[in-house]
Amino acid sequence: MSARTTRVRLFAAATVALAALSLTACEDGSATGVRDSSTAPVAAEQSARPEQKDQRDQQAGGTDTTATTARDGSSTTGSQAAPDGDGGDELPGDCSAEDVEITATEVPRPINHLLLTATNTGSKTCALPAYPAARFGEAQSVPPVVETSKPQSLTMLEPGGSGYAGVLLSAGDGSAGNGSTVTSLTVPFDDGSVATVGLPADGVYVDDSLKVTYWLTDRSTALTY
């Protein structure tokens, strides 16, 4: 083999080697480019995640604040709506013998009945006792009350107003025992005062049938028992 032929072969081999190196570099560059391209969205997503987290945190924080405000508002409203124990209108006090006059009137119908009338002669509204604990003469006890006559509430007397109570004095057929004629009557009030009630000069006849109604606002109703 001549020297010239040998140089040609060496040159060709070198050329092939250079071409192979160039091809390898291109392939590496392409691979590198692919890897760079694939990691770009990941980096972008990672950079976006903190912002999304901040937005969620802000939304969550806003929701909590709203809930707290609502709870605080409800509590405030409830506190404002709660009664303070310092009411507006003054409740009426108990009636007293000093400002209420009680009269006793015999009525033709029903028979053996007496009508008690309590009139407020004072300047303030007051509450009568539930019923007149009437004591006739020297009796050691007061007559029972007719429970069916009980009103829904105590009878209030405005200045000049009146309340009424019926009294069954004795049995219409004279069948009850322990009858006697009495000439005096007293009616106590809840404040401890006692009213003296005038009776007819000849007095009234009472027996074991004696009973009274509750204080009522209607005269005719008081005489139906």
State how far the alpha carbon of 80 is from the alpha carbons of 8, 73, 89, in Å: 108, 11, 19
List pLDDT tens digits, range 101-124: 999 999 999 999 999 999 999 999
Distance from C-alpha of 206 to C-alpha of 182, rounded to nearest angstrom: 7
H or E element that contains 70:
helix 3-81
CA dihedral 10, 14, 20, 24 (to 10 degrees): 150
24 or 153: which leads in pLDDT: 153
What mean pLDDT comes out for the span 139-155? 95
The amino acid that residue 223 corresponds to is: L
The answer to whether 185 touches 114, Cβ cutoff 8 Å, is no
Distance from C-alpha of 53 to C-alpha of 51, rounded to nearest angstrom: 5
78: pLDDT confidence band, cut at 50, 70 and 90?
Answer: very low
Distance from C-alpha of 131 to C-alpha of 187, rounded to nearest angstrom: 10
Residue-range domain boundaries for the chain: 1-81, 93-222
What mean pLDDT comes out for the span 157-176? 93
pTM of the model: 0.60
